[in-house]
Amino acid sequence: MSAPALSPPLSKLLDHSGAALLAVRQGRSLNDVLPELPAEARPGVQALTFQALRRLGAVDAVLHALVTKPPAPRISALLCVALALLWPSETPAYPDHTLVDQAVAAARRRTPGAAAFVNAVLRRFLREREAQVAAAQRSPAALWNHPPWWIDRLRRDWPAQWQDLLAAANQHPPMTLRVNRRRCSGADYLRALAVQGRAAVLLDDPAFGGQALQLTQPCPVDRLPGFAQGEVSVQDASAQRAAWLLWRSGLAPGARVLDACAAPGGKSAHLLELADLDLLALDVDAQRLRRVSETLQRLGLQAELKAGDAGQPADWWDGRPFDAVLLDAPCSASGIVRRHPDIRWLRRDTDIDTLAALQARLLDALWPLLKPGGCLLYATCSIFKIEGQDQIDAFLQRHVGDGAVLDPASPGHLLTVPDNHRLGDDARSPHDGFYYALIRKT
């Protein structure tokens, strides 16, 4: 077996992280940027860039105060990464002098003439750190590290919880596992983890059927026992509710089910772990369907896969109605921003209305495909009400004569705050933000 690749020196990680941050500023997702980096650099670059993105509002404000003329974009991004790592912390990732030295080395390698400038800016910040931090945090965008429009929307939607939601979005998320019920029980897998020396807790909420565990310390998936053999998958507890909600709605063996926006396939796989179903996994992106196929193959599951726009059933539907439809609709992803801290800086306020219109179109297009007596489960990983409660209220009004009835089992909005009574299982580690509505056709 070959030795594991060593992580590049910090100066190279800082250089790559500056480039990744600049790419986000230019509108690219980190999910697209990170695979382009050398494999040995990706974990380190992701960690550094995540840190910068979680503090970007604050370091932007500080950088603006420290310089009279904006530096070149690549140097500005490098400085933002370095400033984020120099931000006051009880457990700093690196000693201050090491960080400054390596940031200067990164600048010298990329733009030699900027090395002295980077050195001067970072050393000035260290001299004035307490005052600079205090001054920056007078701005809401710097205090909460979110765009102003995002802050305003949460304040309107959740007047009692908006501050907790913003604070939670800057925390590190837990790593939650879904144990494949066809292979072993959650309790058995907990013991397998213990043999490996990995601590975990079984989530005791009945909503998860004893198959959801949360690791005390995250780890690479290839180090999980039985991962390659399909015994377990990584899936946040909020996302695991989807399959359980549909299955407990009364799905019989062999039921015909549509997962309308299936990629990357976690919810399709979970449904098939719970029951033998005639499942169609549909996605508008044929390339992303490959991930669905890989997921099902690893877990030893089968489904029909088809590329198509869920909003245009005439292009792919064979006319046979479905017993159940899962619409995990495209959304702002505002509920999973702690896992993807670039989202808050990539989204624009105008995107939210556009996404809400798309969600309404998909709901209206898929509703006629459902059998009388069937269920449609609408889901978004969003905490914005326009993509959740408001969306479904409007749908029910539009279809009041079509037998659309909201099931009382619908969880509604699940928030990333400990006092959300609807989570119920582990208030110490709230799950991702989601919205669920289970709609029956009478």
pLDDT in tens, 251-264: 999 999 999 999 99
Considering the domain architecture, whether residues 211 and 307 belong to the same structural domain is answered as: no
Considering the domain architecture, whether residues 88 and 219 belong to the same structural domain is answered as: no
pLDDT at 6: 66
Residue 169 resides in a domain = no
Considering the domain architecture, whether residues 269 and 208 belong to the same structural domain is answered as: no
Considering the domain architecture, whether residues 199 and 221 belong to the same structural domain is answered as: yes
Considering the domain architecture, whether residues 286 and 203 belong to the same structural domain is answered as: no
Residue 422 resides in a domain = yes
Considering the domain architecture, whether residues 193 and 332 belong to the same structural domain is answered as: no
pLDDT in tens, 352-378: 999 999 999 999 999 999 999 999 999
Considering the domain architecture, whether residues 253 and 302 belong to the same structural domain is answered as: yes
Residue 403 resides in a domain = yes
Considering the domain architecture, whether residues 24 and 113 belong to the same structural domain is answered as: yes
Average pLDDT, the chain: 94
User: Whole domain around residue 68: which residue ranges?
Assistant: 10-142
Considering the domain architecture, whether residues 405 and 266 belong to the same structural domain is answered as: yes
Three-state SS for the chain is CCCCCCCCCHHHHHHHHHHHHHHHHCCCCHHHHHHHCCHHHHHHHHHHHHHHHHCHHHHHHHHHHHCCCCCCHHHHHHHHHHHHHHCCCCCCCCCHHHHHHHHHHHHHHHCHHHHHHHHHHHHHHHHCHHHHHHHHCCCHHHHHCCCHHHHHHHHHHCCCCHHHHHHHCCCCCCEEEEECCCCCCHHHHHHHHHHCCCCEEECCCHHHCCCEEEECCCCCHHHCCCCCCCCEEECCHHHHHHHHHHHCCCCCCCCEEEECCCCCCHHHHHHHHHCCCEEEEEECCHHHHHHHHHHHHHHCCCCEEEECCCCCHHHCCCCCCEEEEEEECCCCCHHHCCCCCCHHHHCCHHHHHHHHHHHHHHHHHHHHHEEEEEEEEEEECCCCHHHCHHHHHHHHHHCCCCCEEECCCCCEEECCCCCCCCCCCCCCCCCCCEEEEEEEEC
Considering the domain architecture, whether residues 287 and 315 belong to the same structural domain is answered as: yes
CATH of the domain at 98: 1.10.940.10
pLDDT in tens, 156-206: 999 999 999 999 999 999 999 999 999 999 999 999 999 999 999 999 888
pLDDT at 236 over 60: yes
Domain boundary among 234, 263, 285: 234
Domain boundary among 234, 249, 283: 234
pLDDT at 427 over 80: no
pLDDT in tens, 2-59: 334 567 999 999 999 999 999 999 999 999 999 999 999 999 999 999 999 999 999 9
Domain boundary among 218, 234, 250: 234
Q: Tell me if residue 261 is catalytic.
A: no
| Confidence label for 344 from pLDDT (cuts 50, 70 and 90) | very high
pLDDT in tens, 249-297: 999 999 999 999 999 999 999 999 999 999 999 999 999 999 999 999 9
Considering the domain architecture, whether residues 224 and 244 belong to the same structural domain is answered as: no
Considering the domain architecture, whether residues 366 and 401 belong to the same structural domain is answered as: yes
